[in-house]
Amino acid sequence: MIATQETIDATAAIFDDLRCQKNTSLDNLLETPDGRRILSCIQCGTCAGTCPYGEHMDYPPRRIINMLQRGLIDEVFRSDSMLRCVSCYACMAKCPRNIRLSDVLLPLVKEQTLIHLTEMPAELQKSLQNTLRYGNPMGESSRKRAAWTATAGVPVPTIGEKGGVADILWFVECYTSYYARGQDNSRATARLFHALGLDFAILGNEEKCAGDCGQLTWESGLFETLTDYNMVVFGKYKFKRLVTGDPHAFNAFRIRYPLFGFDYPVDHTTPLLHGHLDRLKPMLKKKLDCTVTYHDSCCLGRRAGCYEPPRELLRAIPGVKLVEMTHNRVNAICCGGGGGGMWLDTFFKAKGMERLSERRIREAIRTGADVLAVSCPYEISRFEDALKTVGHDKPIVVRDVVELLADSLGD
């Protein structure tokens, strides 16, 4: 599916309004501007129809809205429907009434669902506990957060080491700090930043998870703990903008952190590098000779409208042929990792639900591509796992856009 510029503008229009209200609850929601949009719902079912798990929900978004309008929302909490929401923004991006489902309504319902659950899925509970205790969902030691920098091949200074001042504060995030394949992303990003001569620094061991997934599963207490912590750390240093390679953190800094006083410009690595494409392109000397298909991450694609920059970066790599999957851009299928889905695979399986990463990888395989390119650290592990269970005749690997760019830098 080829999106025209007009399409992109149209789908990006929804992203203009980032305002959320901190004290919004299900009780006062309908009195807020976002709530009045909910009242304009025409019950068309686009949300349920596009939801990747819509057929597994007793209460897909359309019915939730109806129950809310009828004053019967409490009945929704008796179902575990909302646990199946992977916060992929598909319903919100296509809603003809521009109702902020994934931003506002669904997280509120999700929080109540969690509160009413008799038994919390163990995997999810563990991750949330780890995030609270260690600042990362894997439960790794916070003192080892910056350990990966030793293997970066280029200096990766902490902002403390730079006298507390840097142009770019690079917020590395959890998977990219601890998980081996995530570190590949970080090492590639460091090399690219160096090649471009950017003035950057990381927080090092001071950094804790930005908390987006905590927020989206609406552990609001956990989210606020992390926000409070990170805001204090930011306050210690001087930097002009914050950059992160994790679209979920990017999302949190754009949409949630401003409620807590955060007002730095925020960028994701992919659009940031795209902004330097003129200088980067001559450095991309090594031919990669492969067919690549790009998977739009939900937070960077549908939520931020960033569809073309990653594709243009890929096209800039010599020898890369870009092909599209059936579902792309606004219509992309989620990897299933958002909204806590990362830690609900066991729960989904127990409910007889197909893993979305498998649904997605099948589309990637059908393109005949050699590489599935991604721009979100969750996706590397999710799609690599999916490749283990979904049969394919031709080899296909999962690489982040930054990894491919760094490969092409040569030595």
Partner 1 sequence: MIVPKKKEPIRVGVYVCHCGVNIASMVDVEQVAQYAAKLPGVAVARTYKYMCSDPGQEMIEQDILEHRLNRIVVSACSPLLHEHTFRKAVEKGGLNPFFFQMVNIREHNSWVHTSRAEATQKAMSLVRAAVQRVFHHKPLEVKKVPINPNVLVLGGGIAGIHAALVLANAGKHVYLVEREPTIGGHMAKFDKTFPTLDCAACVLSPKMAAVGNHPNITLWTYSEVTKVDGFVGNFRITVRRKPRYVLEDLCTGCQECIEACVYREPKFKDEFNLGLGKRKPVYLPFPQAVPPIAIIDPETCIELKTGKCKKTCVEACGDRKAIDLKQQEEIREIQVGAVIVATGFRVFDARRAPFFGYGTYPNVYNALEIERLINASGPTGGEIVLPDGRKPKSVAIIHCVGSRDEHTNRWCSRVCCLYSLKLAHLIHERTEAQIHNFYIDVRTPGKSMEEFYNRIAEEGVKLIRGKVADVYPDTSEGANGRLIVQAEDTLMSRILKLPVDMVVLAVGLEPHPDAPNVRRLFNMSCSNEGYFLERHPKLAPVSTFADGIFLAGCCQGPKDIPDSVAQAGAAAAEAFSLIDKGHIELEPNTAFITEAECSGCKSCIPLCPYTAISFLEDKKKAFINEALCKGCGTCVASCPSGSIRQNLFEDDEIFSEIQGLLAEV
Taking the CB of residue 27, how many other CB atoms lie within 10 A of it?
9
CB closer to partner 1 out of 45 and 160: 45
Instruction: Please state, in angstroms and as integers, the Cα–Cα distance from residue 266 to each residue in 89, 244, 407, following that order.
Output: 20, 8, 26
Burial class (CB in 10 A: 0-12, 13-18, 19+), 391: exposed
Give the helix ranges, DSSP H, for 117-260: 122-134, 175-178, 180-195, 212-216, 220-235, 247-251
Q: Can you tell me the distance from the alpha carbon of 279 to that of 273, in angstroms, rounded to the nearest whole number?
A: 10
In the complex, minimum distance from the CB of residue 100 to partner 1, in angstroms, rounded to a whole number: 12
CB closer to partner 1 out of 59 and 170: 59
CB closer to partner 1 out of 2 and 150: 2
Measured at the CA of 59, the angle between CA 299 and CA 347, to 5 degrees, comes to 65
CB closer to partner 1 out of 13 and 154: 13
In the complex, minimum distance from the CB of residue 65 to partner 1, in angstroms, rounded to a whole number: 11
CB closer to partner 1 out of 68 and 146: 68
CB closer to partner 1 out of 62 and 145: 62
Question: Where on the chain is the footprint of partner 1 (CB under 8 A)?
Answer: 1-4, 6-7, 10-11, 13-14, 42-50, 54-55, 60, 62-63, 94-98, 326-327, 329-331, 366
In the complex, minimum distance from the CB of residue 234 to partner 1, in angstroms, rounded to a whole number: 35
In the complex, minimum distance from the CB of residue 334 to partner 1, in angstroms, rounded to a whole number: 13
User: Cα-flanking dihedrals φ and ψ of residue 21, to 5°?
Assistant: -105, 130
Q: Can you tell me the distance from the alpha carbon of 191 to that of 189, in angstroms, rounded to the nearest whole number?
A: 5
In the complex, minimum distance from the CB of residue 63 to partner 1, in angstroms, rounded to a whole number: 6
CB closer to partner 1 out of 204 and 310: 310
In the complex, minimum distance from the CB of residue 328 to partner 1, in angstroms, rounded to a whole number: 9
CA quadruple 296, 300, 304, 307: dihedral sign: negative
In the complex, minimum distance from the CB of residue 109 to partner 1, in angstroms, rounded to a whole number: 17
Helix or strand holding residue 344 (H, E): none
Q: At what angle do helices 377-389 and 356-366 cross, to 10 degrees?
A: 80
Helix or strand holding residue 372 (H, E): strand 371-374
